[in-house]
Each structure stands twice: as structure tokens, then as C-alpha cells.
A and B are shown apart, each in its own frame.
Chain A
Amino acid sequence: MAVRNPRTTRTALASVLASGVIAGPVLAQDTNLTVWSDTPRLEVYERYDELDNGVSLNVVTVAPNELVAKLQLALRADGEVPDVVWLSSTDYAAQLSTRRTNFLADLGEHVSEDILAEFSEGANTPCTVNGKLLCLRNDIAQMVTWYDAPLMEELGLEVPETWSDFEAIGETLAGLEEDYYIGSAVEPYPILITLASSDCEIGFPVEGAEDTIRVDLGSDECLRAARMMDRMRESGVLADVGPFDPAFAEVAKDRRVPLMVSATWFGEYVMRPTYEMPEGTLTAALPPRWEDQDQPRVWSWGGGAHGVNKDSGNLDAAVDLVVWATTDIENQKQAVTLPAHEPSAAEWVQSINEDGYYHGDRLGEVLLASAEFSHPSLTSLRLRAVDAIGKVVVPGLGSGQSLEELLPTLEAELRNNARLNGYTVE
């Protein structure tokens, strides 16, 4: 009979226990998600990483305008494809859900209706392509009327409620000695936004038909907006340079920009640093509407979103991350610009009101209220109307043509581009 050596048994028992202890954490492993982010969003993902929820993130920084290119390459070369991407422009949602590049997951199938209802009116429409919700909007960048309160008072001007009021202000300013600017006539986004707010059909999706858009730039709606911009450009109140141009900034620094219809981020990121608006002067009001509209229709100038890889190995974890990033109030409270999630936005505007830089204390509620006017036809397209305007309209304006004259050329460009990208154009 073999004598059992107590020491060997003890050692054997100890080693079994030890291996059990070591194996423990190895078995309960973290889910790992790869995220492609841009620089401002890094801190959002870091915050998520610090949460103790069994998910660890591998964050890769990608320049926003290189995202689609890098993703195409990664998909083609079977390289490391991310689970979650940050889409700096909602246009990417359409580009990444084509027959060729079918990357984005339909979040409508994974996110509850209740959560989706918490977003601002129309915030997720640009993320909806052919009925599928391809991304969750992180922030919205709708238009508001930024204005210099003391300067407006000094000039005896009232904040415009309609676009005719806006034009009237322009006429008053044109009659004055000095040059005043209330916008730019040659910057593609403002041109697009003014046309769209007038319900000019610069690529509006057709309900119920897949990949079909309507382009009609000869309508009265388009002409009224174009003619207004032409008249104001003639009189000089709409500048011949873009709002980010040094020449425009010079005029602004000289306190000769009493108001501008621009995006929500414009105040904090352009008027405050570049135009050097003094403390206590800057605030905003609701954007103007056309006479026959009972409320303004605003387009977005920016507003990023998060998207999820439909073939992700950890789809649920990825969706959770995206939902958290867009709806967690503690997180969105610290966002860089107005969140799309209404409860978060309500908290976020507190910090704006407490900032002390802005004039008065109504800025927060104006930003919140204007989010409701998002244009129902603002969607994600594989073609970019801004690029078409930059290519065809701006050089034309530079060689002396009027916007009204250039509308047919723009329409042709948009139609051709749409067909090239596989759309049916009505």
C-alpha cells in the first residue's frame, strides 16, 4: 500500500487552489470594444471605460474627414474594423449603409422607443436612411439668431421674427455710413440653410420610396430665398467673404456685426474667440421664419452621431455604449455643444446660463426651444449639397453672377450627382 506523504498532499492541494485563483479572473474576462473616435470625444469614451461594467474600450483616434476612407480600407482589407464609430457628419450614415459598404446597424431594432422619444424633435431624422435608424445623434447644431444686444439697442434694431424683418434690418444697415455685416453671401452652409429653411427642395427625401429624392430649384420658395440673398449681397450687408475669413473677423472685432443667423456652436466657438465679442453682449433668439410658415424650419450645421457596426461580435455591448454616450445625463452635461437628448440638454444649458459671459439669462431656453424646429426633410444623403454649392455656386458668385442665375446650374449639378450616387431624382 502506498503511504500518502502528508507534505505532498498539502502541496498538491495548494497548487490546485492556486491555479483556481489564477484561473478565476481569466475566466471572467472583460468584453473588448474597438471605438474610432475624434479628439473631442475621447473624454466621453474615457468616462465610459472608467465605469465598472465589464466592458473595456480600445479607442483609436481618427481624423473626422478620414473616417469613411479608413473604414472603406479596413472593410476591404479585412483589417481591424471598429465596433463603434463617431460620425462627425450625419452624411456618413448614408455613405456607410450602401449595397457596397453595408456597415451600420439598424439601431431601431436594438434601442427602445422610450429612449428614442427622449431625443429632441427631429434630432434623429438625419440618422434615418430608408426607414432605418443608423446612428444616434449626439449633439444638434440648429440655427439660431445670434445678436449683439447692446449694439442692436444702439442701432435701434429689433430681433427679426421673419425673414422680411431680417431683410429690413439689412436695408437699414446698408443706409448707414459704415459697413455692417449680418451674414455671408458666399459660404456654402449658410446658402444651403437659407434655401432649405424656405422649403426649397434641394434634395428632400421622398416618403416611402427608397433612395428617391426631390430636387426642384425653380420653385417660388427657392426664388424668394435666392432673391433675398442677392439683394442683401448687392447692398453689402451679406459679406463677400466667409464668416471664418480674416476680413469678416476684422469687421466683427470692430463691433459691426449686430446679428447673424448661425448654428448653436457659433457663439461659443466663433463669436467668442475669433470675433472677440466682449462679455455681456452676446445672446441669441429664435431663428426667423417666412411669412407663410407658422414656425421656423431650421437646418443643421453639423451635429455628430454615434454608429454601431452591424457585424460586431459584441453588438449588445456596442449599442449600450452608444446609448450611454448620447443619453447619460452626467456624461452629456459635460458635452462640448448642445446635446440632442432633451433631458441632458436641459441640464447642459444650466452651465451656459451660469457661464456669465453671455448677455442676460435667456440663452439656454432659446437654444432648447429652437431645437424643436428641425426641418422634417433634413436627412442623410450620399451626396452633399454643400459640396455642390461650393463647386458651382461660389465660383459663379465670385465672377459676378447672382444666386438666382446660378440656381439652374446648381440644380443640374445636384441631379447629376444624385444619379451618380444611385438615387432616383424626381
Chain B
Amino acid sequence: MPLPQEVVAAHRIEKRRRHRRETSIAYLFLLPYLILLAMFGVFPVLYAFGLSFFDTIDMVFWGFENYRFVFDDFRLMQAFENVLFYLLIWLTATVVFVTMLSLMLDSVSHRAANALRTLYFLPGAVTSSAVVVLWLFLLDPSVSPFGTFYELLDWTNRQNVISGLSFAGVFSIMAFFALSGGWIVVFGGALSSLPGEVMEAARVDGATPFQLATRIKLPMIWRSVALMAILSFATGLQLFVEPQLMNLAGPQLAQSDWAPNQLAFQYAFSMGDFGASAALSSLLLGSSLTIALIVVFATNFYETD
């Protein structure tokens, strides 16, 4: 008859084997994504990073020449200023309004919340280029439904409106309506997974809906907020479509070097300088990665409480 220690040991081995099998199955599920990530994510980044140190005519290693070229570009500082201003407006608006709207949606009835969430999501279903064209109509006082509002501010043509709102403002509006819907849906999911007992207990203790939202729910979903902030920062820093498509409004509104990503595009596809383009792209990626890592480690993002 086996000894109790042997039974326990046998159980432990069995558990370890099952655990290993479960882990290997988990890796098997992850494998397709990891392969695609390697092919279309990691490899291009490494290739570009390597390319940024080469002269792309003769493929000769020439150190930081490409980076020096990028920093010598007289438009670089302005482009970064533009994008940081854009991020200031857009990121603040996104974080504040998405959180607020999601919390408010969580306190209304399910049916109403679902209907509203779908409504908020709809603009996001329209692709960026179509959004730009749509907004070009909305910003033209002669055809826009907001015409009376523009007249109050004495903006008589599209140029006035855009000067008044500033390009950063215009792109923020475009991006906000395009992207916030998706995040509201994500937050809806995060909020619905919160434990009901805690809410009940809070209500029993006499918490108002406002206190429930700000003191209980908000701290519990802070990770979703941080995730949204990080991803939005990365997306925003690499803004490209909205300024690039302003030329659809006519050459007088075209902005072909407003954002750093557009400069990278120009280096590669107008000037044929893939090395300089790789350098600027690596810089942009590096900044996003650094900020993301700072946020992750400073907030102990991956720790489960």
C-alpha cells in the first residue's frame, strides 16, 4: 500500500504535468498571433532600426547621419509642437469624456445604455478618410448644420473656422469622434465585470450614484483608463491620416508636413530617403515605448490585486 507521502508526491507530479500541458496549450493558442506579430510587428521595427544607421544609396554604415538629417529638418520642432498640442487637447478630452460617459452609461438602464453605446460607436465604424471628408463638410459654414454657430463667431468660410479652431483642434475633434466610441464599448465591458456585491454594499451604505461612480467604480477601472491613455498616446503621437487628407479640402488647406509621421512619409516617398524615414520612425516608436513603459512600471500595471 503506498505511503501518504508517496500519494502526495504522485499528486504533485500529476499536477505539474497537467500544468505544463495547460501551459503548452496556451502557447499553442498564442502561436499564430506571435508569428504574425513577429512578421509584421517586430521584424519591420528591427529592420527599420537597422536601416536608420545606413546610407540607403550605397548601403554603407554611416552612424547617426540619418538622425542628424532628421534633426536638421527645419520643420521637425514645429511638427512635434503641433502633435504635442494635438495630444494635449485630444488625450485630455478622450480620457475625461470617455470615462465620464462610460460611468454615466453604467448607471442608466441596460437597454438605454446599449442603444447609446451603439450610437457612440457608429462614428468609429467610419474609416478615417471618410471621417475627414465628412468633417470638411461640417466645418464649412455655408453647408454645415452648425452654420448659425459659426456665424455667431463671425466665421464666414471654412478657412476662418479652421484658423479659429486651429488645426490641432480640428484633428482632435475628428479623432475624438472616430475613436472614442470604441473605448466606450471597452469600458462598458470593464464596468460590467465589476463585482455586484461591492456595488450593493455601497448602495446599502448610502452612496449616491455620483459617489458610487467616482469613489467605487473609477478606482476599480483605473487600469482600463491607463491602458486607453497609453494606447491613445501612441496613436496620437503617430498621427498621419487626418493632416495628410486635408488636401481633399483643396490646396489652400493642405498640410503635408504638419505631423512628424508625415515628415517620415515624405522622406521615404517623396525624397526616396528610406534611411532618414527609418530614423524618424524609430524616434517616434521609441518615444511611445518609453512613455508606455514608464506608465506600466510606475503604476504596477501587470500586478493583480
Contacts and interface: CB of A to CB of B under 8 A. Distances in A.
B254 interface: yes
Given A95-B272, A416-B75, 4 more contacts: A98-B271, A100-B56, A241-B158, A395-B163
Contacts of A421: 271
A391 B271 contact: no
A244 interface: yes
Contacts of A73: 269
Q: Which 9 A-B pairs have the closest CB atoms?
A: A69-B269, A101-B272, A398-B159, A100-B272, A394-B252, A416-B74, A398-B163, A188-B251, A72-B272
Contact of A394 (B56, B57, B74, B159): B159
Interface string A191-218: 0000000000000000000000000000
Nearest to B69: A420
Main secondary structure of the interface of A (DSSP, over half): helix
Contacts of B253: 390, 394
B270 A241 contact: no
Interface of B: 56-57, 73-75, 140, 142-143, 156-160, 162-163, 250-257, 268-274
B56 A387 contact: no
B104 to A, nearest CB: 38
A368 interface: no
A76 B268 CA distance: 10
27 contacts: A68-B269, A68-B270, A72-B268, A72-B269, A73-B269, A95-B271, A95-B272, A98-B271, A98-B272, A100-B56, A100-B271, A101-B272, A186-B159, A186-B252, A187-B250, A189-B251, A241-B157, A242-B251, A242-B252, A245-B250, A246-B140, A390-B253, A391-B256, A394-B253, A398-B160, A398-B163, A420-B75
Contacts of A69: 268-270
A398 B257 CA distance: 19
A101 B160 CA distance: 40
A305 to B, nearest CB: 18
B27 to A, nearest CB: 34
Contacts of B162: 398
A399 to B, nearest CB: 5
A22 B68 CA distance: 62
Contacts of A76: 56, 272, 274
Contact of A244 (B142, B163, B250): B250
B57 to A, nearest CB: 5
Contacts of A395: 159, 163
Contacts of A186: 159, 252
A387 B252 contact: no
